[in-house]
Structure 1
Amino acid sequence: MLSAGLVATAMRRLEWRVPQLTVQPPGGATLVNLPTIVFAGGAQTQTLTTTLLTQAVTIEARPVSYAWDFGDGARLVTAKPGRPYPDLDVAHRYPRPGRFQVALATSFVGRFRAGDGPWRPIPGQLVLASTPQPLRVVEARPQLRGE
């Protein structure tokens, strides 16, 4: 019989789609004190099938939390993946200029079933890290120009 621990180990070894971290405004730069929007694209429930102990096993991974690291010491954990502009579901204001790495780790909970059997929970969580995004934060400097 398959143990939940064996399935948890198999779950960590499978190749899951990692949610894509997007930072807005696009282009890798933002302004000091401007809301910089982040969101996880493709963050959805995924299902994979594998074979364990000669049995076909279906494993389902459902995203449950998103840990954002803005690279300037600020961190945030949310239950939602955020949304693109104009929504400000997940946003951060950088208080000073600099170069930062924005990172995202998405946590998934899992369940499994062997063949057509009942679904059973998988202990622990699967954490998938997205590719960090470099971000340059600059100050806007007003300039008057004569004609």
Structure 2
Amino acid sequence: MKKLIAFSLILTSIALPAHATDCIEKACIDVYTQDGKIIIEGRKGSGLPEKKAVAPAPVKTRKAIVRKPVAPKPKVTGSAKPKVITSTKKPVVRKKPTPSATASATSLSDKLVEILPSAGIAYSPSFQPLIKVPVFFWSDIPEVITKKIEIVGEVVDVKLKPTFLWHYGDGVVFVTRKVGAPYPEGEIQHTYSNPGHYLIQLITRWEGSFTISGVTAQIPGKIDTVSILPITVVAAPTRFTPPVLYKKGRP
């Protein structure tokens, strides 16, 4: 079962829960974590479309036709009847184009997904560090990530801060908010006592808050991203040099 932690923020108050009726006049923003992602949902309005009033088409009035008096035709004598020609062609009635019937909805709804980056790991010396010599570690994740996200006409300021959990592979864990740096400025250091192959595991734990119209609230829940990098630690070679003996009287 997926773990879902949600938080709703209504612009006028963060103490009241977000009901459907609350979102008719003001925007409701939901920010929560799910499956290692930050989900931002926004909704505003009643959800019923507002139809535009379409003005009726003007009715055309025909002008009165004044016919001139026609002199009576002379009567035709005989058995032949005058032919009456009737037209079978139907009159063409042209319809006036009506305005578009599209309606502007009063409700707005949107959903955005923010995927957090995984940290890249580096250490120095990068080739076969020695035992009993400090190794410097660092990652490429900034200490603060800020984003401006626009949703349903509102601007959401999201601020995220990571916490780093360094597992050096020999049972030692170091927790810090610093990203570290190479020698000699680096603050994240570890010394291995025994040679061997180790797996460095860096867990980046994200926490954050979001701000809308000057109102700030915490995003509940945490998101963990994991990065792994192997390291090989070697022992320094040992050489025994025989002592040099000098005889008296010789330079």
Is TM-score (shorter-chain normalized) higher than 0.5?
yes
Q: Who is 1:15 aligned against?
A: 115
Out of 198, 201, 212, the residue aligned to residue 103 of structure 1 is 201
Cα separation, partners in 2 of 1:135 and 1:72, compared to 1, 3 Å: same
Checking the alignment, whether the CA contact within 8 Å between 1:24 and 1:85 is kept in structure 2 is yes
How many correspondences in the alignment?
140
Q: Take 1:104 and 1:15, find their aligned partners in 2: how far apart are those partners? A: 18
Deviation for aligned residue 1:50: 5.4
Give the number of the structure whose alpha-carbon radius of gyration is greater: 2
Deviation for aligned residue 1:49: 5.2
RCO comparison, higher one (Cα < 8 Å, 6+): 1
Q: Take 2:215 and 2:202, find their aligned partners in 1: how far apart are those partners? A: 33
Checking the alignment, whether the CA contact within 8 Å between 1:19 and 1:43 is kept in structure 2 is no
Checking the alignment, whether the CA contact within 8 Å between 1:21 and 1:38 is kept in structure 2 is yes
**Structure 1: which 5+ runs fail to align?**
none
Correspondence 1:134 to 2:230:
yes
Out of 16, 22, 34, the residue aligned to residue 133 of structure 2 is 34
Secondary structure, counterpart of 1:86 in structure 2: coil
Give the % identical residues.
27
Cα separation, partners in 2 of 1:49 and 1:15, compared to 1, 3 Å: farther
Secondary structure, counterpart of 2:32 in structure 1: helix
**Structure holding more helix per residue:** 1
Q: Give the alignment's TM-score, normalised by structure 1.
A: 0.77
Q: Who is 1:3 aligned against?
A: 8
**Structure 2: which 5+ runs fail to align?**
1-6, 10-29, 40-112, 242-251
Q: What is the root-mean-square deviation in Å for CA atoms of aligned residues?
A: 2.8
Amino acid at match of 2:196: G
**Structure holding more strand per residue:** 1
Q: Take 1:32 and 1:89, find their aligned partners in 2: how far apart are those partners? A: 19
Q: Who is 1:123 aligned against?
A: 220
User: Residues 83-98 of structure 1 correspond to what in structure 2 (within 5 A)?
Assistant: 83-98=181-196
Deviation for aligned residue 1:102: 0.9
Checking the alignment, whether the CA contact within 8 Å between 2:143 and 2:177 is kept in structure 1 is no
Correspondence 1:68 to 2:92:
no
